[in-house]
């Protein structure tokens, strides 16, 4: 008996000691692609691409790399960012955030309007400066590197030598010196990488470059393989910052393209990484990835994942062999993480009754807001949205307040007070991927009677009516609900707090809103949306609640 009782406590102690606190991947779920990360003291900051959404470039802060809080946007003023006329997947591409001697820097590309630029701030919460344009930087995905001797460099993806492509997708990585005070490039452009890791294999789309230094070596990490299923991360190194760079023989250091496509709960499309070192010498990578629900279909876009970086033989390793991206991992800094409570990863919940003076930072708009068409102060507890002629299938700034869909299984509800004055006036909630791929559940009027309508977008920049139901004109309170369940969206309405009524017997095809079908680089959003469909109107819609709830099987 003594022997038995002496071993049980030891076994229990072993179990307790081996238990580790874990975090969920993705750390930023939903449409948060192209992550860049930097550390300043004990603080970590991430910035992501935002394309044609405004404000631009969301910024997140964490003390432990696990619990993240959005602290604002780097580009939140119309004089900073003009997105008028931009397609949903144009706008702001692939930012990099860095810090040097009291100043924060973000370098980025505004596609179709100005090209590459840099902005600065003394506080990452802002305000950030207006863009300083870098006309000499001919490419995309710019990055900044500050060397030990205070010299700075701009790296970027660019055209092939002499603009002659040896194969489709042939690109280069180039570099300028950078004056961090005058915010100008200096000297001559230098070619660092021509094509990619192995030109014999015709590598495509070398991009997303970042340089860092370790043990006397300069390491250059890049994305390769394109932004789809063949996406990867590769690494080169050199004894000099301007090369020559040698490709690692075991590249890529991160990809999932070689794994069984039929595997359970896959994470795909991994790449576009950035590294950060913790104060105790650990290295961590953030990178984008996707969570398909069927084949290569995913609606929520490219998300931000995190994984440890291991060093072997002087080279970094993220995933090796057939190792899969893990949904749950040990926290990287156990001494700092007492509890994991990250509202941006895992099963998400968000609710607002619009009692604040400002919209929550998670809300965003399609393109730059230049006139006051919405208000939180006109009537306390209500979000007022003016009906305007702009539509979500055009390329202006419609009356459209969006929230990212973060989970494939989700529910969004809102309450609405609105009386349509004509058939062109509509207000409700839309699940939106781009100008030609969305579903719209709204209140309107038909033959003088109020109705709830469900529309599907058409390729000719219009909408097709899917279903319409009469409602009681004497009941003002109307609630709308959209449910997503991997392969389908369901649409409901309720009057006076009564039971939910389904608009169609079968759900509408979710794959219609997937990136594979719709194309582009963004993810689906839910938006409160009101429009007078091309005609002038003084009407208004009032929303007094918005709630989002998302659940994914891997996080149960």
DSSP, res 259: S
Q: Could you tell me which residues are beta bridge partners of residue 133?
A: 117
Residues 431 and 481: beta-carbon distance below 8 Å: no
C-beta atoms surrounding 317 within 10 Å: 18
Distances from the Cα of 53 to the Cα of 76, 296, 315, 469, 498, angstroms: 10, 25, 37, 32, 36
For 431-443, b/e burial (b = at least 16 CB within 10 A) is bbbbbebbbbbbb
265/26 Cα distance (integer angstroms): 13
C-beta atoms surrounding 509 within 10 Å: 14
- The strand order across the sheet containing 91-100 reads 91-100, 103-111, 115-121, 132-133
The rounded Cα 549 to chain-centroid distance in angstroms is: 18
Q: Which residues fall within 8 angstroms of residue 336, CB to CB, at 6 or more apart? A: 63, 64
539/422 Cα distance (integer angstroms): 10
Strands 217-224 and 207-214: antiparallel
Q: Across the chain, how many H-helices and E-strands are there? A: 2, 40
C-beta atoms surrounding 8 within 10 Å: 9
DSSP, res 94: E
Stated as kind and residue range, the H or E segment containing 494 is strand 488-495
Distances from the Cα of 193 to the Cα of 33, 224, 511, angstroms: 24, 12, 38
DSSP, res 325: P
Enzyme catalytic residues: 34, 207
CA angle 68, 72, 76 (to 5 degrees): 155
Distances from the Cα of 330 to the Cα of 48, 312, 333, angstroms: 24, 20, 9
Strands (E), 168-267: 172-179, 184-194, 207-214, 217-224, 232-238, 246-247, 254-255
Per the rule left: phi > 0, alpha: psi between -120 and 50, beta: everything else, 269 is left
287/306 Cα distance (integer angstroms): 6
204/212 Cα distance (integer angstroms): 23
DSSP, res 149: T
């Amino acid at each position: 008996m003594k022997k038995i009782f002496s071993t049980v406590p030891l076994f229990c102690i072993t179990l307790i000691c081996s238990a580790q606190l874990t975090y969920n991947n993705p750390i930023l779920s939903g449409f948060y692609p192209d992550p860049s990360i930097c550390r300043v003291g004990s603080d970590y900051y991430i910035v992501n691409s935002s394309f044609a959404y405004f404000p631009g470039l969301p910024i997140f802060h964490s003390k432990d790399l696990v619990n993240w809080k959005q602290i604002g946007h780097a580009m939140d003023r119309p004089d900073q960012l003009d997105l008028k006329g931009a397609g949903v997947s144009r706008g702001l591409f692939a930012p990099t955030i860095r810090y040097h001697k009291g100043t924060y820097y973000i370098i980025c590309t505004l596609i179709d309007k100005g090209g590459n630029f840099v902005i600065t701030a003394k506080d990452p919460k802002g305000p950030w400066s207006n863009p300083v344009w870098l006309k000499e930087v001919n490419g995309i995905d710019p990055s900044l590197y500050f060397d030990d001797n205070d010299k700075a460099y701009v790296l970027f993806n660019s055209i092939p030598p002499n603009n002659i492509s040896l194969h489709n997708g042939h690109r280069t990585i180039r570099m300028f010196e950078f004056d961090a005070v005058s915010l100008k490039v200096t000297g001559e452009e230098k070619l660092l990488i021509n094509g990619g890791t192995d030109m014999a294999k015709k590598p495509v789309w070398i991009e997303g470059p970042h340089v860092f230094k370790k043990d006397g070596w300069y390491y250059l990490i890049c994305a390769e393989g394109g932004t789809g299923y063949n996406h990867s991360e590769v690494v080169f190194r050199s004894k000099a910052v301007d090369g020559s760079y040698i490709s690692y023989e075991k590249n890529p250091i991160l990809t999932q393209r070689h794994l069984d496509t039929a595997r359970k709960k896959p994470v795909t499309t991994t790449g576009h990484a950035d590294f950060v070192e913790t104060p105790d010498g650990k290295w961590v990578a953030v990178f984008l990835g996707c969570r398909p629900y069927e084949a290569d279909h995913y609606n929520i876009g490219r998300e931000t994942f995190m994984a440890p970086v291991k060093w072997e033989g002087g080279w970094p390793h993220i995933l090796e062999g057939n190792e899969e991206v893990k949904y749950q991992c040990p926290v990287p800094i156990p001494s700092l993480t007492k509890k994991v409570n990250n509202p941006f990863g895992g099963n998400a919940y968000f609710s607002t009754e619009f009692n604040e003076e400002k919209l929550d930072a998670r809300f965003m708009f399609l393109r730059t807001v230049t006139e006051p068409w919405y208000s939180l102060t006109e009537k306390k507890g209500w979000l007022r949205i003016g009906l305007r002629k702009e539509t979500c299938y055009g390329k202006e700034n419609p009356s459209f307040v969006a929230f990212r869909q973060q989970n494939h299984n989700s529910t969004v509800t809102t309450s609405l007070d609105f009386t349509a004055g004509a058939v062109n006036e509509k207000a409700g909630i839309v699940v939106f991927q781009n100008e030609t791929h969305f579903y719209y559940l709204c209140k309107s009027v038909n033959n003088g009677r109020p109705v709830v309508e469900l529309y599907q977008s058409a390729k000719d920049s219009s909408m097709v009516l899917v279903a319409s139901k009469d409602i009681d004109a004497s009941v003002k309170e109307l609630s709308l609900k959209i449910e997503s369940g991997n392969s389908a969206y369901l649409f409901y309405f309720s009057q006076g707090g009564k039971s939910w009524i389904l608009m169609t017997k079968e759900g509408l095809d979710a794959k219609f809103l997937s990136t594979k079908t719709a194309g582009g680089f963004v993810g689906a959003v839910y938006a409160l949306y009101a429009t007078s469909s091309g005609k002038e109107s003084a009407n208004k819609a009032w929303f007094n609640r918005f709630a989002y709830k998302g659940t994914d099987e891997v996080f149960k």
